[in-house]
Each structure stands twice: as C-alpha cells, then as structure tokens.
C-alpha cells in the first residue's frame, strides 16, 4: 500500500510526464486539498522527492499568488553524465544518494528497471560484509565501476 507521500510524488510525476515543457506549476493549497493533507506535507514531498540530485528543480513562491514550479532536469549530453559519475567516485556515497543517482539514470533511460534493481541490491549496506564507516567509500567505488560498465556506450 502506497503512503501519502508516495501518492503525492506519483501525482506530480504524472503531471510532469503529461507536460510538453517538462515543467509544471501548482498551487500548494490546491494540491493539499486534492490529497486532503496539510500544505507542509506537500513541502516535505518536494524537499525529499524532487531534489536536484534526483533530477528536479523546484521553485516556490509564497503568498496569496504563490505557486510551486517543478522542472524536470535532463542529462543533456555525455559530459553531464560523466560529471555525475565522477561526483559519485570522488567522495563517500550513502546508500540513499546512490539510489537517487540510480533512479535518475533509470528515469533518463540510461538504465533499465532490471539494472536499477540489481545496482540497488549491490549498494545495499546490509549486503556489504564491511564496517559501516567504510561502506560509503566502498559504495562510491563500486557504483562508479558498475555504472561505467553499464553506460560505456553512452560516454
């Protein structure tokens, strides 16, 4: 059963899919009324499910004439894809950050759903026989290696 947050996220993504511009404008109160929740719940969804790292830019304007603009960012060229891979390998990568990157590459159709599931399984901390302190560093190296193998025809 999907949570309220999941349902709001899906609704916004469906609106984005239908948009020809790759962006949408919403009113926070209207969205809250649709889902019968408080506007702060909408804020939570936007702050956690529509970040730059996940491939979105959110612009908000408060007040009576306020709005929320959600823009889907796309990976325009191979240089951007390579930059994302380098960022993943130059630092520690948490499980959540790794999953965000994998989801974004799946949304951009660089990865298949099957590859998405496999990569997430490899990056899951519970599957790593090492201490939690070194897992993030190991995960970053593992993530870059696997993505380079899968994406080598794209870069």
Q: What domain range is 98 assigned to?
A: 78-151
Domain final residue pick, 72, 90, 107: 72
Shared-domain flag, residues 84 and 130: yes
How many domains does one find in the chain?
A: 2
User: Is residue 36 exposed (0-12), middle (13-18) or buried (19+ Cβ within 10 Å)?
Assistant: exposed
| Tens-place pLDDT, residues 2-48 | 799 999 999 999 999 898 888 899 998 899 999 999 988 998 999 98
Mean pLDDT over residues 79-100, rounded? Answer: 73
Residue 9: both structure tokens together: 């996220």
Terminal-residue alpha carbon distance, the chain:
39
Least confident of 43-52, 66-75, 126-135: 126-135
pTM for this model (two decimals)? 0.64
Question: What CA–CA distance (Å, rounded) separates 75 from 96?
Answer: 20
153 φ, ψ (degrees, to nearest 5) = -75, -15
What's CA 59's distance to the chain center, in Å? 16
């Amino acid at each position: 059963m999907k949570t309220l947050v999941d349902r709001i996220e899906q609704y916004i993504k469906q609106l984005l899919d239908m948009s020809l511009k790759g962006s949408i404008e919403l009113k926070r109160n209207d969205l809250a009324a649709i889902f019968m929740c408080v506007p702060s719940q909408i804020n939570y969804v936007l702050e956690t499910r529509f970040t730059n790292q996940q491939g979105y830019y959110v612009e908000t304007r408060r007040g009576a004439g306020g709005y929320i603009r959600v823009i889907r960012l796309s990976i325009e060229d191979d240089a951007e894809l390579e930059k994302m891979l380098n960022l993943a390998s130059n630092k520690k990568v948490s499980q959540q950050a790794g999953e965000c990157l994998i989801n974004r590459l799946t949304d951009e159709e660089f990865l298949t759903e099957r590859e998405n599931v496999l990569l997430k399984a490899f990056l899951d901390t519970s599957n790593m026989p090492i201490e939690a302190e070194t897992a993030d560093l190991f995960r970053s190296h593992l993530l870059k290696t696997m993505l380079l193998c899968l994406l080598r025809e794209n870069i």
